[in-house]
Amino acid sequence: MSTAPTAPAMRRDLCFKILARHIRDQIIVPVYQAAQEWHGIAPDHALTYYSIGAMGQASSCALGLALARPDKRVVVLDGDGSLLMNLGTLVTIASQKPANFLHFVCQNGEYEANGGHPIPGRDQVDFAAMARAAGYARADTIATLDDFEAKIARLLAEPGPVFVALKLVAGPPPSQDYGFIHGAPTRAAFKAALNKG
């Protein structure tokens, strides 16, 4: 009995490499390990607001940026563990209805920044259903790289707020460059790039 080949599991770094090919002047707000990985993939994207140090707050910071700059698309690269620490943000974002807001949640079932401990409910939680119930304009789950590549251009253009849970497996650990991410020059470069537009 033959079986159809299964699609390879989706990794965050591979998703981010596809995303980086579509990014121009969008504001990117990555959290923790996603921030480290995004920096390694798109180190010259000055419109990156690295959200490390206040776990769970990336989407809240991104909402502030989206409301302050409705002319720019804001893309959150959240983590499942981070979102669990601030689930109320889904309701707040949905109630504000920012049309320029795209919220990705990298769902690998782990508190990755804290040693890979499993998140509660890792095998049953449905983040897209939570976002939909909170009132997001659109909420979806993507589990294959082919599907992500097929949808990314539309997701970046679709009126928001849009939520997408990315069902991921762990890839190679990203290099850690806290000096860059926490550095004053990085924040100054973001501020200058934001004000330039």
| 50: pLDDT strictly greater than 60 | yes
What are the sequence ranges of the domains in the chain? 13-170+188-196
| 5: pLDDT strictly greater than 50 | no
Sequence-ordered list of residues with C-beta below 8 angstroms from that of 85, at least 6 positions apart, any chain: 55, 56
Strands (E), 61-137: 74-79, 101-107, 110-111, 117-118
Classify 110 as helix, strand or coil.
Answer: strand
- What's residue 99's pLDDT? 97
- For the chain, percent of residues with pLDDT exceeding 90: 64
Mean pLDDT of 27-41: 92
| 120: pLDDT strictly greater than 70 | no
- What's residue 32's pLDDT? 82
| 115: pLDDT strictly greater than 90 | no
- When the pLDDT of each residue in the chain is averaged and rounded to a whole number, the result is 88
13-170+188-196 CATH choice from 3.40.1640.10, 3.40.50.970, 3.10.310.10, 1.10.10.10: 3.40.50.970
- What's residue 113's pLDDT? 61
| 150: pLDDT strictly greater than 50 | yes
- What's residue 112's pLDDT? 62
Give residue for tokens 């020059």.
185
Would you place residue 183 in the very low, low, confident or very high pLDDT band (cuts 50, 70, 90)? confident
Predicted TM-score of the model (pTM): 0.89
Mean pLDDT of 129-151: 96
DSSP-assigned states of every residue in 86-122:
TTHHHHHHHHH--TTEEEEEEE-SEEGGGTSEEPTTT
- What's residue 21's pLDDT? 96
- Per-residue pLDDT of 56-66, as tens digits, reads 889 999 999 99
